[in-house]
Amino acid sequence: MKLQDKVAIVTGAASGMGKAIAELYAKEGAKVIIADYNLEGAKAVSEEIAKNGGTSMAVQADVSKLEDVENMIQTAINEYGTLDILVNNAGIMDGFEPVGEITDEKWDRIFDINLKGVMRAMRKAVNYWLDNNKQGIIINTISTGGLNGAHAGAAYVASKHALVGLTKNTGFMYAQKGIRVNGIAPGAVETNIGASITNVSQLGMERSGMTHKLTPRTGKPEEIAKVALFLASDDASFVNGTVVVADAGWTSAF
Ligand code: NAD
């Protein structure tokens, strides 16, 4: 029980890695807010957690809407009394256009969810912790696309690179306040988004005229959840402002 009585929010928790993280956190004793714009999916995850004896609550939150993000954090505080861990996991890939083909609308949408949505939630959480003299932990699901250029389209890769910077800056700026902020950079993981990643990477390679052996293997969402558990636990007390790559060695090839 590494998270006994901790209160955690996981965004994008209706499916994929967010679901696996929420389920593992609940198993480890945390009370979990299952936040997603897909409320039905979030409720199904919450019901599953209840069947296994865990505590959670589904909250509808579109991270591209400020009021939803603020409501999500306030709900944790109102219902469970505090907030200890914020996992900013919601994200979209939405195609693989290089810069010559991206539209302003798609660029803005991807940035609004993958980057600004995370900033909105971090700002609210950090201010809650500072105002109440509490410590807190933030974990951002980034991507190997935040470290390399070949894994997705221009907007996704740029948004995830920016998220690496935001994670490092926030970790550094609040380190002395007892707030830890880290990222996870998963390789290709077997989720809805993951199903498109290896294809997208292959296409990117072909379009750039390169060939490359792709990821040694795809990962299970549960393998990423274990990294998120480590970062949320006291075992990671000296880990801050960094990005943990979990990709079976894919990135080491670049
Ligand atoms: P997924 O599609 O299974 O899960 C994403 C979840 O986010 C869904 O439940 C979706 O409803 C939710 N979501 C999307 N937009 C949202 C919004 N505006 N507000 C709230 N919720 C929203 O995919 P996943 O692979 O589990 O994705 C989770 C994160 O992992 C994303 O940030 C993604 O970029 C990142 N990632 C995925 C892979 C991979 O291979 N699957 C690799 C690297 C990074």
pLDDT single digits (tens) 191-231: 888 766 666 667 766 766 665 556 678 899 999 999 999 99
Ligand 1 contact, 18 CB (< 6 A): yes
**Any idea what the Cα angle at residue 196 is, between residues 158 and 144, rounded to 5°?**
40
Ligand 1 contact, 68 CB (< 6 A): no
Per-residue confidence (pLDDT) for residue 57, from 0 to 100: 98
Nearest CA to ligand 1 atom 31: 91
ipTM surpasses 0.95 = yes
Nearest CA to ligand 1 atom 12: 12
Sequence length of the chain is 254
Beta-carbon neighbour count of residue 47 at 10 Å?
Answer: 12
Nearest CA to ligand 1 atom 19: 62
Reported as half-sphere exposure (CB side, CA atoms, 13 A), residue 214 has a value of 19
Question: Mind telling me the catalytic residues?
Answer: 156
Per-residue confidence (pLDDT) for residue 205, from 0 to 100: 66
Per-residue confidence (pLDDT) for residue 208, from 0 to 100: 66
Ligand 1 contact, 201 CB (< 6 A): no
Ligand 1 contact, 174 CB (< 6 A): no
The side-by-side arrangement of strands in the sheet containing 243-246 is 55-60, 31-36, 7-11, 85-88, 136-141, 179-186, 243-246
Determine the 3-state secondary structure of 136 from DSSP. Answer: strand
**Pair of tokens at residue 72:** 């999500």
**pTM, to two decimals:** 0.96
Q: Give every residue of the chain whose pLDDT is below 70, as ranges.
A: 195-201, 204-205, 207-215
Per-residue confidence (pLDDT) for residue 253, from 0 to 100: 75
SS3 content of the chain, % helix, strand, coil (to 5): 50, 15, 35
Q: Measure 193 CA to ligand 1 centroid, in angstroms.
A: 6
